[in-house]
Structures are given as C-alpha cells and as structure tokens.
Amino acid sequence: MSEVQIGLAIVVVTLLVLFSGLPIAWGLILVAVGFMLVFEGPGSLANLPVLMIDELASFALLTIPLFILLGAAVGGTAAGRDLYESVHRWLDRVPGGLVIANILSCGVFSAICGSSPATAAAIGKAGVPEMIRRGVPPGLAAGSVCAGGTLGILIPPSITMILYGIATETSIGRLFLAGVVPGIMLVVMFSIYAWLVTLREQRQIAVGDIPRYTLAQKMEGLGRVAPFIGIVIAIGYAMYGGLATPSEVAAIAAVLAMALVMIIYRAWRMGDLWSIFRETVRESTMILMIIGAAAVFSYMMSLLYVTQTAAQWLVDLGLNRWVLLAAINVFLLVAGCFLPPVAIILMVMPILTPVLEANGFDLIWFAVIMTINLEVGLITPPVGLNLYVLKGVAPSLSLPTILWGSMPFVILMLMSIVLLSIVPEIALWLPNKMMGAG
C-alpha cells in the first residue's frame, strides 16, 4: 500500500474506533499498535513504553494538573455562584444585564479555572435557572452560558493552549497572551448580542420585579470574589513579568486557591477536599493519558511516513495561502464536531505545523484561530460537551432548546475567526508588546 492509502485507512479505522465509545487514549493506542504490527512487525513496538514516558516527562506538563487543581478548587465550592452573583449586582440596571452578567462571569471564571466544561457547569448551575425565572428566553439563557463556557479554552490560563505549545514547541507565555484580546473581544460580542436581543424582544422585567442593590451590597459581593480575581492578576504579573515560569505560577496559583476556599468557604473537611482532589486527579489523568497515547499515534504516523506525505501533499497543492487557511478551518470545524480539543491538537498539529510554517502563517496567531474553531465544536453536536454539561445542570431545558440557543453565538465565533484572519494583530499585538516580536 502507498502512504496515501495507509493514511486513509488510518483515518477510517481511527474514526470507527473513537465512535465505538472506547476511551480516546486507549483508542489511539489500539490503532497505533495495530497498524505498526501490520506494516512494521512486532519489533516496531519496542520503543513505545519509552516514547510514552519521555512524552509525559516534560516539565511543562506540570502546569496541567496544577491549573486543573485551581479550577477544581473554585468550581467545587460556592465561589462560582458568588462570582456570578457579584457581577450580576453591578449590572442590575442594564437591559439584558442578567444575561451579560452570566457572560462576564464565564469570562472571569475561565480566567481562573481554564476549563470550558467547568465554567459552563459552575455558572450554568446558578445562572440559567435565575435567568429563566426572571423572564429571559430559555434559548438565550442556555446559549449565553454554553458559549460563555467555551472561553475557558481561550482565555488564559488555558489547558488547550498549553497542549498546543507543547505540540508545536511554541512559547506558552506568548500563547496565553495571544488569547487575552480575542477572549475579551468574544465577551464583548456575546454581551452586545444579548443586549440587542433583550431590546428587540422587549422582555425587560418590570422595574419593581428586578432586585436593586445598594453600593454597599455591590461592594460586599465584590469582596468575596476579589481574592480570586487577585489570583488571576498575580498569575499575569508573575508569568509575564518574568518572575516565574508557567509551572511555578501554576503551583503558586493552585496553593493560593486552595487556601482561599478553605478560609473563605470553610472547605477544609475531608469530604470537601476529597471532592476537589478527586476531580483534579480524574481530569489530569484523562488528559495525560491522551497526551501519551497521541505521542504513540504520532510516532506511528511518522514511522509509516504518513505525516510527511500528508504535509508534502498539502504543500504541493500550491493553493493560495488563504484558500489553504479556509480549507484548514473547515476541516477543524468538522473535526471539532466529533472529537474533543485535546485529541485534535495532539493528532493534527504534527501534520499542520510544517504546512503552516511553509506558507508563512504565524503559529501563535493560528493557535487562537484553532482554539475558537474548537470552541465551536464544544457547542455543536454530536460531541458538543458543553451542551451536555448544561443539560446536566439545567435538566428542565431540552437539548434542542440549548442547541438552538447556542447557534447565534456560533455565528459570532465564526465572525471572529474571519476578523482575526483579516487583522492578525488582534491576537499578536499583546504578546509582541509585552514579550517582543516573535
């Protein structure tokens, strides 16, 4: 068989295995081992244990369980609810303020935990029932939290950006900075849409039905979440000020978050701590297993010369660089509907990286484009993880209601991809300003 035929066979078999329901890590290992046995023989498997161990021995991977611990500490307590409530108090007189409060809460919570499902669950559990109770259309209520939750993989600290940096050997600090302005841009776009829909539908609740808060009450709510916002500021200052590496920053942030939830929310009982650490271990193990399995899968692709052939084929097509970018975006959009972001990054970037570099695309800029693409996959079926997370925390809503409510936000994300393609400086200005031109 030619390399092209082998590559097509790998794609078909991999999709069948992953759609069978087998865990992603074991599915990738099964496919890799199977093809290596068939085409290279048993001797080709000798290096696999060392390959996996070497991949997981990267010092940069320490940031993953530590940032997950940070998110679990906040998401596993009432901090998420307090964050939402605090933002809502400051927007109580703005048309659509309740929806905007949820979107802003998602943005801030994302900056603390770096996880999209955790953001959607924490904010959705408190925010969606409250929005519906106060007359917000169920679709808008669900869609705003679903889409807002996706910001967790764009706004730093982002586990997805860390994995991208490892896969492409690019600076994690620059990747984090590149996600800041586009993340804020999406928050603003989502908020403007919520405001316009509220005005158009004329669904504002009568003034007497909306709770009004005094300045003292607003400051009291802000006081409870200010320490967690302080962690975000400290992360940025330490990392981008050159005071510490991402791994060191993650460790300090995780310890501070644990101390704050124990002091402010009295989460020092064994049951509270067990819940936080159990979630951390579960999610960290899942991601690290996928990383190790993806290393084996990439090794198999390279050993069978599939990666090199695919990259060369894309280069030889001689497509206009923007046509190529559009084709890559379409591929990522389709892949994101079926596979989680972690798997896509680790499987696809070894092939795309040389192609992007050959066509003069900035890998830091492309990280933002790719991440927003993957965000769309989080709120579109059949995988659509955030859809199912929100269904779990708001069981009164039907899945079609959640899905259709998310579609306008999908359109806004696609618009942001076009805007970033036309004006790359939206993503590159901040990292270039703070860390110099790459």
Residue entry with tokens 């992603």: 24
What pLDDT does 204 receive? 47
| pTM of the full structure | 0.75
Domain coverage including residue 26: 3-435
What pLDDT does 207 receive? 40
What pLDDT does 208 receive? 41
What is the count of structural domains for the chain?
1
What pLDDT does 411 receive? 94
Summarised one tens digit per residue, pLDDT across range 149-200 is 888 788 887 888 888 998 898 988 899 899 999 999 999 999 999 888 877 7
What pLDDT does 371 receive? 93
What pLDDT does 206 receive? 41
What is the Rg, in whole angstroms, of the alpha carbon atoms belonging to the chain?
22
**CA contacts within 13 A on the Cβ side of 413:** 29
What pLDDT does 240 receive? 66
What pLDDT does 205 receive? 43
What residue ranges of the chain have pLDDT lower than 50? 203-208
